[in-house]
Structure 1
Amino acid sequence: MDVRGKLALVTGGSDGIGREIALQLQGAGAEVIVTGRSADKLQAMAGLGFGTIAGDLSTPEGVDAVVNGVAGKPLALLVNNAGVGSDYDLDQPETLESAARCIRTNLDAPIALCTRLLAVLRAQPEAAIVNVTSGLAIAPRAGGSVYCATKAGLRSYTQAIRHLLKDSNVRVIEALPPVVETNMTAGRAGKKMSAHDCAAEIVHGIRTGKREVNAGMVKLLQFAHSLSPALARRIMIQY
């Protein structure tokens, strides 16, 4: 996809991977609108020439704000990047609200945005949807059960709508990051990919027409999964 002159919407685009995707799309010539929850971060992005929409995608009002914020605009690229973790604990029922917020943000909101913005995407000569899942969509880790479930659900949804849209002008891309250095992973030990490098692989995939972008170490996980799904699950469940 030639992004030059095209309008892109990047959810969760004021921080982390989303911010880097937005910056790199802008650098490639796209006009970019970002969404986020932090007024200060959105103000900083506006200062860099981005359109901004404030909205919490864990709420219906936040989804409405995003849809209304791009109404009447020639949106050609939707990047569903916004995501949150969850402190869900199987032994602690009080953490169910955290789980619900994770599900609403990571799964319900992308489905809603794909559905509600599809008509405008179809109206463009060339368009794309990018759903950012995770390597954990391939094989889960026990410590992030709800987060993994949302990403696996979004992966399945992405594969299904790709087939539904295969004869249309809307390309459907899945991006699968590894553990990336962001606020969500702050304090977590182990090797992490930089947000810049992860975004670079995703933007390259958008521009070169890939259906799936396996970033960083996810390439190895995909290879292990292709040899033995059971082996991949055994490796990742304790990761």
Structure 2
Amino acid sequence: MQLEGKTVLLTGGSAGIGRELARQLKAKGARVIVTGRNRERLDFMRAEGFDARAADLSNAAGVDALVAQIVDEDIDVLINNAGQLVDHDVRKGTPDADAADDCIYANLSAPIRLSTALIERLRSRPEAAIVNVTSGLAIAPAARQPVYCATKAGLRFYTLALREQLKGSTVRVIEALPPVVDTQMNAGNPMKKMPAAECARQIVTAIEQGRYEANIGMTRALRWAESISPALARRITLRF
């Protein structure tokens, strides 16, 4: 895909991987609409020349409000990048069920609802893409993050099925599977982290090259382990 002149809607674009994606897409000549919840971060992105929109994607009303904001935009690329991490470990006590619900909506329901709302608009474009950012943990789960892993696995399977439905159309459905990335969300994670800029670079390259899947960093090794034995892949990740 030639990104120059394309309009990209990028959720979670004011920090972490999303912010780096926005910068790199802009450098390629795309117009990038970023969304986020933090006012200061959104102001920072506006200062860099981005169209930044406030959006709470942890509930249906927030997704619908975003769709209403962009009703007149010709969207060529939707990148479902926004996500939440929730502490859900019964070994530490009783987890917060409401926090789990917010995570499930933001990570799984919101991308589905947003993709559904924009699908006909994307189909009308000569060349379009939906990019769903999942995780290496969509392949095999980590014990300490069951809700996050479940949402990313759900989004992975939604992506695979949606890709089959849109086969032959102008809309390419791409899945990006990052490893642990150096972002605020992973600040407490002791594992080695990939720089957010490098993760974003590999996602942008996958879009440009028209690939269906971007296995990034250590996720490539995990995919290899899964191809040999899903049980082996699970043994690797469940320790964490």
Structure 1 length-normalised TM: 0.98
- Aligned residue number for residue 134 of structure 1: 135
Per-residue deviation, residues 88-142 of structure 1 (Å, max 9, x unmatched): 2336445111110100100000000000011111111100000000000000011
Contact 1:53 / 1:65 at 8 angstroms: preserved in 2? Answer: no
Structure 1 runs not aligned, ≥5 long: none
Count of aligned residue pairs for this structure pair = 239
Structure 1 residue matching 2:49: 3-state secondary structure:
coil
The separation in 1 between residues aligned to 2:191 and 2:78, in whole angstroms, is 31
Contact 1:55 / 1:61 at 8 angstroms: preserved in 2? Answer: no
The separation in 1 between residues aligned to 2:191 and 2:100, in whole angstroms, is 25
The separation in 2 between residues aligned to 1:124 and 1:32, in whole angstroms, is 16
- Aligned residue number for residue 98 of structure 1: 99
The separation in 1 between residues aligned to 2:230 and 2:60, in whole angstroms, is 36
Structure 2 residue matching 1:63: 3-state secondary structure:
helix
Per-residue deviation, residues 12-40 of structure 1 (Å, max 9, x unmatched): 00000011111100000100000000111
- Aligned residue number for residue 82 of structure 1: 82
Residue 187 of structure 1: how far off its partner (Å): 2.4
- Aligned residue number for residue 53 of structure 1: 53
Per-residue deviation, residues 115-170 of structure 1 (Å, max 9, x unmatched): 00111111111000000000000000110000000000000000000000011100
- Aligned residue number for residue 107 of structure 1: 108
Task: Say if 1:144 and 1:53 are closer, same or farther in 2 by CA, change over 3 A.
Answer: same
Question: Match for 1:138: what amino acid?
Answer: I
Per-residue deviation, residues 70-92 of structure 1 (Å, max 9, x unmatched): 21111000000000001223364
Does residue 161 of structure 1 match 2:157? no
| Identity over aligned pairs, percent | 55
The separation in 2 between residues aligned to 1:153 and 1:226, in whole angstroms, is 19
The separation in 2 between residues aligned to 1:190 and 1:12, in whole angstroms, is 23
The separation in 2 between residues aligned to 1:27 and 1:44, in whole angstroms, is 17
Structure 2 residue matching 1:213: 3-state secondary structure:
strand
The separation in 2 between residues aligned to 1:108 and 1:125, in whole angstroms, is 27
Contact 2:76 / 2:127 at 8 angstroms: preserved in 1? Answer: yes
Structure 2 runs not aligned, ≥5 long: none
- Aligned residue number for residue 17 of structure 1: 17
The separation in 1 between residues aligned to 2:40 and 2:65, in whole angstroms, is 18
Per-residue deviation, residues 179-203 of structure 1 (Å, max 9, x unmatched): 0000011022121000000000000
Residue 47 of structure 1: how far off its partner (Å): 1.2
- Aligned residue number for residue 147 of structure 2: 146
Residue 49 of structure 1: how far off its partner (Å): 1.2
Residue 61 of structure 1: how far off its partner (Å): 2.4
Question: Match for 1:12: what amino acid?
Answer: G
Does residue 44 of structure 1 match 2:44? yes
RMSD over aligned CA atoms reads: 1.0
Contact 1:130 / 1:175 at 8 angstroms: preserved in 2? Answer: yes
The separation in 2 between residues aligned to 1:27 and 1:100, in whole angstroms, is 36
| 60-69 or 208-217: bigger deviation | 60-69
Question: Match for 1:27: what amino acid?
Answer: A
The separation in 2 between residues aligned to 1:83 and 1:170, in whole angstroms, is 23
The separation in 1 between residues aligned to 2:224 and 2:95, in whole angstroms, is 38
- Aligned residue number for residue 238 of structure 2: 237
Residue 54 of structure 1: how far off its partner (Å): 0.3
Structure 2 length-normalised TM: 0.97
The separation in 2 between residues aligned to 1:65 and 1:80, in whole angstroms, is 16
Structure 2 residue matching 1:8: 3-state secondary structure:
strand
